[in-house]
Amino acid sequence: GSWLKLTGPCSRSESLAVMQEAIAAHQAEEKRKKAKGATLGFHAFQSFDAKRSQAEAHGKTPKRALSDSESEDDDDQKVKPINWSSPPKELRERGDGEGQHAVEFIAHFIRFIVGLWRTKLDEGALTAEAGRQGKLSDAVLGVFQSEASLKETQDSLAHLLRQLEKGIVDTEVLARLDEMATLSAKREYMEANKSYIELTIGKKKWHNAYFGGEAKHNKGFHARRVSRSDLNAFDSDDTLQKYVQALRRVIVFAQWWRPNSDVSRHM
C-alpha cells in the first residue's frame, strides 16, 4: 500500500532521502509562489487606488491622473503662472477699437498698474513723501511697501486673469470690473469706487452675508437675518472676493501715482 515503490538497487534509506528532497522542493516552490502573491497583493497596497475603486463600485470614473508634463485644468484653486515681468509701457484709455474689449482692457489695466507698483517698489520709491496724491496713511503705505502684499495681490489677480481668459466671469461682475478699470484709467476714482461698492454691497443695507441688524426706538439693537435675495455673487464666492479686493488695492495705488488734478474725483 506504499505510495512510493522502490525499484532497482537503491536502499530504503536512499529512497527516503530522494522522497524528502522532492517534498522539500515542492514546499519551496509553494513558498515562492505564496511570496510572489503577497508582493503583488497586500505588500503592494500602496499602489491600490481606493478612490478609483470606490468610484468604479458606484459606476463612476474619477479624473485621470495627470503626468508631470501635463497641467491640471484651471479649477480656480490652481492657475497657470502669469508673467508679470513685462507690463505694458503705457496705460491706454478704454476705446471701442480692436483690443479694447472689456476682458482685454481689464487685463491691460491690471498688468500696467501692477507693473508700476513693482517698478516703484524695486526702485525704493515708495516712501511717505512719494507719489503725487500726497501722503498716505501709515497702514496703506505699509501695504504698498510690502513685497508680500504685492505677491498676494498678484496671486489673487492671477485667478481673475485666468477666468477672463477662459470667459467664465459672470456677466454682471464683468460689467462692474470693466467700470472699475475704465474709470480708473480715466482717473475717475470716485466713480470707480462706486462700481466697487455696487459689486460688493449692491442693494444690501449692511455689507454682511448672513446677519444684519436694525435699531428700534428704546429697544436697542436687534439682529435680523438678511434674506438670500439680498445677497449677490460677491457674498458666496471666496475667489471673487479676493480678486475684487486686490483690484481695489491696485486702484488705490493708481490714484496715488496717477491722481486726478481735481481731488474731488478721488476716493
Looking at residue 151, which CATH number applies to its domain?
1.20.940.10
Sign of the C-alpha dihedral computed for residues 25, 27, 31 and 34 taken in this order: positive
The answer to whether residue 75 is domain-embedded is no
The answer to whether residue 44 is domain-embedded is no
pLDDT score at 12: 66
The one-letter amino acid at 266: H
The answer to whether residue 173 is domain-embedded is yes
Residue 250 lies in domain: 100-204+234-265
Work out how many domains the chain is built from and give that number.
1
pLDDT score at 183: 95
The answer to whether residue 110 is domain-embedded is yes
The answer to whether residue 186 is domain-embedded is yes
Q: How far is CA 164 from the centre of its chain?
A: 14
C-alpha 197/C-alpha 206 separation (Å) is 12
- CA distances for 76 relative to 152, 220, 234, 238, angstroms: 15, 43, 15, 10
What angle do the packed helices 171-185 and 189-200 form, to 10 degrees?
Answer: 160
The answer to whether residue 184 is domain-embedded is yes
Which runs of E-coded beta strand occur in the chain? 211-216, 220-225
The answer to whether residue 181 is domain-embedded is yes
User: 0.85 cut: is pTM over it?
Assistant: no
C-alpha 16/C-alpha 14 separation (Å) is 5
The answer to whether residue 166 is domain-embedded is yes
243 touches 157 (CB < 8 A): yes
**Nearest-CA neighbor of 193 among 111, 260, 238?**
260
Residues 6+ apart with CB under 8 A from 212: 204, 205, 206, 223, 224, 225, 226
pLDDT score at 131: 66
What is the chain's pLDDT, residue by residue, as a tens digit (267 residues)?
A: 444 444 455 566 676 777 788 888 888 877 776 665 544 443 333 444 445 544 444 444 444 444 444 444 445 455 457 777 778 888 887 775 544 689 999 999 999 999 999 999 999 999 877 766 666 888 999 999 999 999 999 999 999 999 999 999 999 899 999 999 999 999 999 999 999 998 888 755 544 443 334 444 444 444 444 443 444 566 667 888 899 999 999 999 999 999 999 999 999
Residue 145: phi and psi, rounded to 5, are -85, -5
pLDDT score at 204: 56
C-alpha 182/C-alpha 85 separation (Å) is 23
